[in-house]
Amino acid sequence: MHTEAEDIQVTPITPHSNLLYSKLVLPPHITWNGLHYTGSETPRIYRQSLTTIAQQVDIVTLNNLIAVVAPTLTLARKAAQQLKVEWTYQAPEEQLPEQNHRFSLFKQGQFNTELHDKSQRISRTYQWSDAAKDITQSYFAQAFFNGTTLSLELPFGHTAILAFELSALLNLPTTAIQIQCTQPALTEQEIWISRNLASAVALIALTQKATIMLELTQEELYRHQQQLTCTIDVHVDEQYQPLSWQATLQCDMPSIPPYAALLKGQVSHYESASPLLNGQSVRPPYHIPHIDIGYNAATTALIPDNLLLIHSFAQESLMDELAALADKDPIVYRLDLTDNEQTKQFIMTVGEQANWSTLTQPATKNLPVMTGRGFAYSQIIDQENTHKKHVSAWVADVEYDANLGHLQVKRIIVGQDTFDTTINKSALSSPANQQITTNKTRSTIQQVLNKSNSFDQWGSTLANTAYDQTEINIIGQHTPSLQTSIENNQACVMPAAAAISNAIFNATGVRLQSVPLDEAELQKKVGYKTSTASSNRRWKYGLIGGIAAIGGLTAAIWPFKPAITPIAPVPANFYSAETIERGRLVAIAGDCMVCHTAEHGQTNVGGRKLETPFGDVYSTNITPSVKTGIGSWSFEAFDRAMRQGIHQDGHQLYPAFPYTAFAKVTSNDMQALYAYLMSQPAVEYTPPKTKLSFPFSVRPLLSVWNSLFHENQVFTPNPDKSVLWNRGAYLVEGLGHCAACHSPRNSFGAEKTGSSFLSGAMVDGWEAPALNHLSKSPTPWTENDLFTYLKTGFSPNHGVATGPMAPVITEMSQLPEQDIKAIAHYLSSLNTTSETPSTVTTSVTPIPDITANTLLGKNIFQGSCAACHQAGNGPTLYGVKPLFDVNTNIHSDTPDNLIKVILEGIQQPAQKDLGYMPSFANSLNDAQITALAQYLRSSFAPDKQPWTNITPTVQRIRHSLH
Amino acid sequence: MKTPPTYPVIVNGQQHHINAPKDAPLLNVLRNDLCLNGPKYGCGLGECGACTVLIDGIAARSCVIKADVLDNHTVTTLDGLGTADKLDPVQQAFIQEQAAQCGYCMNGMIMTIKALLLRNPNPSEQDIRAELDFNLCRCGTHIEIINAALLAVKLSQSTEI
């Protein structure tokens, strides 16, 4: 279960007792022109949009900075999401290129293009942008102001820099600011995050008497999109040796101050920030006669922090390309152009230590798994001492699996040195410094790579473990400089992007020219197949033709399937932790334990009764018990059961087990699921036997059923739709098997498809509402509403998850947030009407016809329901307050769900914090429940036909209660 | 017979070890396992408010809530509101106004007003009436209860630093 306590454990910060949680409410546009804020402004805050939680939430407003403060994190998140704010935004006029000047950063030789008439000109443009890598990743910071001293706790950051910045922002002396950072910031991104956390939490803490815990997500931290470009024009001779080199750097927005300072409008101390750049640092360290490096901008006042990074990426990518054109080894090519003996020696040492041998050209590689190596070098001239030079060289080994579309950085060799005699180098090779460089390398790889989200990709945790597997070797006993400059110095990670990009080229023949290096772009350029099986099948049918297809069909109907040889149990350590973790998420998305765990029973041992029109089906034991579970099932047997509904011993399984949906699962996910289930504890338990009435008890007949209603085909993504949509479709149609409950079934118990897909059905006496007509609810279900409902089990605009949906939500809330977003996105696309913004309607109860019965119903409502369900004023009670005027069940064609909830109550809510509802089965008789249902229908859904036959429904449902 | 294992819970700022089933009503656990008899059993359906306790400072009807909320929430009962030497201002106000007849609803009235004051230190009489709308009193002490609640607002403000 995803609880607040777990969220906080994300960071090592310990919460204080008198603690309030805070979230920012950021404007849609955050921009700045280098002098002042130019984004959305003059917020109009609609406090009443907070409705029931208004009284527990404090709103902090400092100019354009808006924050909500609440006693729990859940409440703060809810308030930030719910609070309606109107902004005014005037898009800035397009800045004309003439207004920009080209400032020279470095110049050497007579730069004159006419000199190179006979030479060949090569022009390339490179891009670098900072973007959220995983929009759901959260960061927490804590602050307390006691009237004189401000104390802050941050997960990472540089205390001195932050204290200086906060002192200017808050008008407090640096001595009155105490900052604790758990560790130093390792990358530019972490520096940006720490500055944002610190400024925002400090400003909020100053307005409050309590300790403030602020949460910022990556999505919130990258509202501004800063993009840097570097265009390089080179002229080369016949040997592809550069004669002239002209580079122009450009940035679409100057480095932006932390949001809180910007939005509060206190940015004067940022204007004076001077460029911290030594022109010598952008000079290519190679023998090139004519060099001109410039920066295009309206003002040099703010040179972005990433300038050196993109410059190094552009320079080293182009050098690699020139080497390839010259048909030379990239290291040899660089050495030929290097005059400086020290540098030469350094590059050769790194090459030797990395066992560098002359590279093979990418064209010779045509395997599904392609491997490649790349090299890059860069140097920074010290700010204060121009005789001091920090140098770094990277060798990267990458592997690209064209079948899976997966790019992996297998190994990184980082060489680094400082050419300066004044430093005692041996003192710097301490393990702590080595560790910092290793961590920094790992974070940097993560920063420059953009792992794609294919439809069968699972969450950020897995993406991160993929990076963690990279082997990192730091060579050279020497770390660049003193401790402080290791933290601040970019030198050791500057070659990262180029080295990896060059290795990708060596592996695949594709050059990526923008950072983050995008896996999806690589997939497009190299060619990418999700499943080789499906394409093979098509080929087979095409080749052999119709007769073979008919033969295949008879084979499929042939009712007696062979048993698959049992295997010895899979050893516990057979699968990697990564695979098992992926399998865990697959199992959650597939809701395995919802059906395979009996009420109050042990997880996955089976025994839950599923009522079907054909009789009761009991779920089976899927723990790896050899005798009673699936312990002796080979993967082949497991895969066949999941896709074709055939038991390991060959007997047919009933389609109450949704193999019809699971057939869509990709083989990677299936493998991972098998790994996960096999790694769980084995439990000996034999669940009750399924007994259906004749003829359904004859299992072999199911092979005919399968040939009619089951298509054993892996999910194929729709190339016209987004990755998010395809991910949602994969989860809904495949693993999530939503249609098993939400699609009506025909008289053979098969799910109807086409326009009936997800059009609603009855399950276990509950109505599973139509998902393709969600827009017909009293208030249309928006994508946002769906997300909130699926994540928390409650949508204030629609109601609370009950019945069989509650455990589904409990499971689903453990999925990565992005997956729930994908499901909401896909489901909302099934609804034809366009999305209307979700508004909370204030309850206007129309006066129904007063009959004796509705008067009775009204009295029951007032006595039994109103304390928790009355709209408008009333006590604030623990748990959510579902209102009837927007409740889906009151607006349904049948009263079943409403009556079921009244009789059964909600004993196991989808999430604990939703609160409970008592059962009224022993307090209200059939006539009273009938009157109550009539009253609710006529009062809260007056536009709908009154329900008929309520009393028989009450009797039927009451009878079915155990 | 096997006794179920005990687990720690925090009520009124003190740690206790109990072995009640997680799906037992919170009210039963408070009264029977922890001997905290401030909250009363009234209707058992969350309708009358006699069983009100505070969960994270929010009024909650403990007869319809399961014991598993104790896992990650702090629960305060009337017993933990003040001590005989140092009464909570709300308790003080109810004594001063003599706002009890039979007294069975008193726990719910005091706890609900306490929850109101925690989130709104300066409620109007209208706010108070709305808040107590679903706390039932059968003796007809309503006027005294409203007076006590109004006095509680004053006393709470004067005791704040």
Residues of A in contact with B47 (CB under 8 A): 863-864, 867
Going edge to edge, which strands form the sheet with B7-11? B14-18, B7-11, B75-76, B52-55, B58-61
CA-CA distance, B67 to A907, in Å (whole number)? 12
Does B10 contact chain A (CB < 8 Å)? no
Tell me the two tokens of residue A727.
Answer: 């991910």
Q: What is the pTM of this model?
A: 0.61
Q: Which chain B residue lies closest to A880 (C-alpha atoms)? A: B60
Q: Mean pLDDT highest for which of A527-536, A555-564, B66-75?
A: B66-75
Compute the nearest-CA separation of B84 from chain A (Å).
25
Residues of B in contact with A879 (CB under 8 A): 60, 65
Q: Which chain A residue lies closest to B47 (C-alpha atoms)? A: A864
Q: Which chain B residue lies closest to A912 (C-alpha atoms)? A: B69
Cβ–Cβ of B119/A918 closer than 8 Å?
no
Position A927 scores a pLDDT of 93
CA distances from A431 to A218, A418, A442, A474, B15 (A): 31, 18, 16, 11, 44
Q: Average pLDDT for residues A639-662, to the nearest whole number?
A: 88
Tell me the two tokens of residue A780.
Answer: 């249309």
Query: Within 10 A of A643 (CB to CB), how many other CB atoms are there?
Result: 20
Cβ–Cβ of A56/B58 closer than 8 Å?
yes
Does B57 contact chain A (CB < 8 Å)? yes
Position A717 scores a pLDDT of 79
Position A370 scores a pLDDT of 82
CA-CA distance, A11 to A1, in Å (whole number)? 18
Cβ–Cβ of B72/A923 closer than 8 Å?
no
Cβ–Cβ of A875/B72 closer than 8 Å?
no
Q: Is the pLDDT confidence value at A603 over 80?
A: yes
Position A93 scores a pLDDT of 66
Residues of B in contact with A863 (CB under 8 A): 47
Position A118 scores a pLDDT of 65
- Upper half-sphere CA count for residue A945 (Cβ side, 13 Å): 8
Tell me the two tokens of residue A874.
Answer: 């009333």
Position A811 scores a pLDDT of 86
Cβ–Cβ of B55/A878 closer than 8 Å?
yes
CA-CA distance, A243 to A231, in Å (whole number)? 17
CA-CA distance, A377 to A496, in Å (whole number)? 9
Question: pLDDT by residue (tens digit) across A167-190?
Answer: 888 888 888 999 998 888 777 778
CA-CA distance, A419 to A476, in Å (whole number)? 12
Cβ–Cβ of B120/A917 closer than 8 Å?
no
Cβ–Cβ of B60/A863 closer than 8 Å?
no
Question: pLDDT by residue (tens digit) across B114-145?
Answer: 999 988 888 999 999 999 999 999 999 999 99
Q: Is the pLDDT confidence value at A447 over 90?
A: no
Query: For residues A300, A96, A33 and A384, what is the CA-based torsion angle, rounded to 10 degrees?
Result: -10
Position A919 scores a pLDDT of 93
Q: Average pLDDT for residues A306-334, to the nearest whole number?
A: 90
Q: Average pLDDT for residues A908-930, to the nearest whole number?
A: 90
Among A877, A907, A932, which would you mutate to test the B interface (most chain B Cβ atoms within 10 Å of its Cβ)?
A877
In one letter, which amino acid is A535? S
More confident: A801 or A611: A801
Cβ–Cβ of A867/B61 closer than 8 Å?
yes
Q: What is A153-183 written as a DSSP string? A: EEEE--HHHHHHHHHHHHT--GGGEEEEEEE
Residues of A in contact with B56 (CB under 8 A): 71-72, 878
Residues 6 or more apart whose CB falls under 8 angstroms from that of A818 comprise A134, A135, A136, A453, A459, A460, A727
Q: Which chain A residue lies closest to B21 (C-alpha atoms)? A: A600
Residues 6 or more apart whose CB falls under 8 angstroms from that of A120 comprise A235, A236, A237
Q: Which of A456, A340, A351 is nearest to A403 (CA)?
A: A456
Q: Average pLDDT for residues A78-95, to the nearest whole number?
A: 80
Q: Which residue in B60, B71, B119 is closest to A877 by CB distance?
A: B60
List, in sequence order, the alpha helices (H) in A490-623.
496-508, 519-526, 532-544, 546-557, 577-589, 592-596
Q: Is the pLDDT confidence value at A496 over 80?
A: yes
Cβ–Cβ of B44/A72 closer than 8 Å?
no
3-state secondary structure of A761: strand
pLDDT band at A196 (very low <50, low <70, confident <90, very high): very high
Does B144 contact chain A (CB < 8 Å)? no
Chain A interface residues (partner B, CB cutoff 8 A): 3-5, 55-56, 71-72, 863-864, 866-868, 870, 873-879, 907-908, 912, 915-918, 920, 923
Q: Is the pLDDT confidence value at A541 over 50?
A: no
Q: Which residue in B59, B66, B130 is closest to A877 by CB distance?
A: B59
Position A498 scores a pLDDT of 93
pLDDT band at A638 (very low <50, low <70, confident <90, very high): very high
Q: Mean pLDDT highest for which of A88-102, A521-535, A867-881?
A: A867-881
pLDDT band at A359 (very low <50, low <70, confident <90, very high): low
Cβ–Cβ of B61/A923 closer than 8 Å?
no
Report the percentage of chain B scoring pLDDT > 90.
Answer: 70
Q: Which of B45, B47, B12 is nearest to B30 (CA)?
A: B12
Does B69 contact chain A (CB < 8 Å)? yes
More confident: A750 or A113: A750
Compute the nearest-CA separation of B98 from chain A (Å).
23
Tell me the two tokens of residue A543.
Answer: 């080749």
More confident: A394 or A370: A394
What is the overall mean pLDDT for chain A? 79
Q: Which residue in B44, B64, B134 is closest to A916 by CB distance?
A: B64
Query: Within 10 A of A363 (CB to CB), how many other CB atoms are there?
Result: 7
Q: Is the pLDDT confidence value at A6 over 60?
A: no
Residues 6 or more apart whose CB falls under 8 angstroms from that of A59 comprise A45, A47, A66, A67, A68, A69, A83
Position A485 scores a pLDDT of 44
Provide the 8-state DSSP code for A420.
-
Q: Average pLDDT for residues A910-928, to the nearest whole number?
A: 90
Tell me the two tokens of residue A70.
Answer: 């609440």
Among B47, B48, B73, B135, which would you mutate to test the A interface (most chain A Cβ atoms within 10 Å of its Cβ)?
B47
Tell me the two tokens of residue A949.
Answer: 């036959």
CA distances from B35 to A111, A524, B39, B77 (A): 90, 68, 10, 11
Does B31 contact chain A (CB < 8 Å)? no
Position A23 scores a pLDDT of 94
Q: Which residue in A870, A908, A918 is closest to B45 by CB distance?
A: A918
Q: Is the pLDDT confidence value at A785 over 80?
A: yes
Question: pLDDT by residue (tens digit) across A819-865?
Answer: 898 899 898 888 765 444 444 444 444 444 556 677 889 999 999 99
pLDDT band at A726 (very low <50, low <70, confident <90, very high): confident
Overall size of chain A counted in residues: 962
